Amino acid sequence: MINEKIAVIIPAAGAGTRMGGNIPKQFIELNGEPILKRTIAVLQNVDIIDEIAVAVPKGYTNTVNNYGFSKVHHIIEGGKDRASSVHLALKSLSSNADTDIVLIHDGVRPFVTTQLVYDIIEAVKNHQAAIACTPVTDTLKKVNSGVIDKTLDRSQLWLAQTPQGFTYSLISAAYELAEENGTLRYVTDDSALIEQQGYPVQIVPSSLKNIKITTAEDLAIGKIFLEAMSCEK
């Protein structure tokens, strides 16, 4: 692909109940800035990204619009679950039929790096589908009714993160098929849809710092990361 058009979808329409508080977790401030705003800012500053679509809860479209990011071309109210929100965002991109590559990135992963985004995009160019992953370092146990069934071989196990990247035609068709066969509500990982169709998905090594902020403990860790980054400057 030459001069490919690259879009990013940010699903950020969840209620964030595990965090507690009166607002969805993606709008909670992390050292003075909403988590979602920090996430968008990283992607806004990646020069090869052309446009961003953000799915938000009802009543929050103006909030994101007021952030003032020039690449955020679509702000939509999300669906009843993450997969529905991603699908709605994919449809919003369909008005621009020349989109070649789509990255999907959680709105509450503000520590994604520019280099990781570039690496995912390069992997998509070569393999059509790629996701950020980190290797499992803890010993994993398979449990049945509270009793260990067996110990799993962690050497082949990786933890899925985002961004996850795909050619637009591949991921769009996968979501359309999931909607048609009634399995969309069970989708928690975008790459799983591609796997189910028999396409290989390339992994791109990531970092444990690329955390998903879903609990108060995660928020505390995020503050530590920011303090460390400030000291490094």
SS3 state at 62: helix
pLDDT at 96: 58
Distance CA 135, CA 111 (A): 18
pLDDT at 48: 96
pLDDT band for position 17 (cuts 50, 70, 90): low
Q: What is the pTM of this model?
A: 0.94
Domain ranges of the chain: 5-232
Q: Please state the CATH superfamily assignment of the domain spanning residues 5-232 in this structure.
A: Spore Coat Polysaccharide Biosynthesis Protein SpsA; Chain A (3.90.550.10)
193, 178 Cβ separation under 8 angstroms: yes
pLDDT at 232: 73
Summarised one tens digit per residue, pLDDT across range 171-188 is 999 999 999 999 888 888
Q: % helix / strand / coil in the chain, to the nearest 5?
A: 40, 25, 35
Listed in sequence order, the residues at least 6 apart from 204 whose beta carbon sits closer than 8 Å to its beta carbon are 116, 119, 120, 123, 130, 131, 132, 133
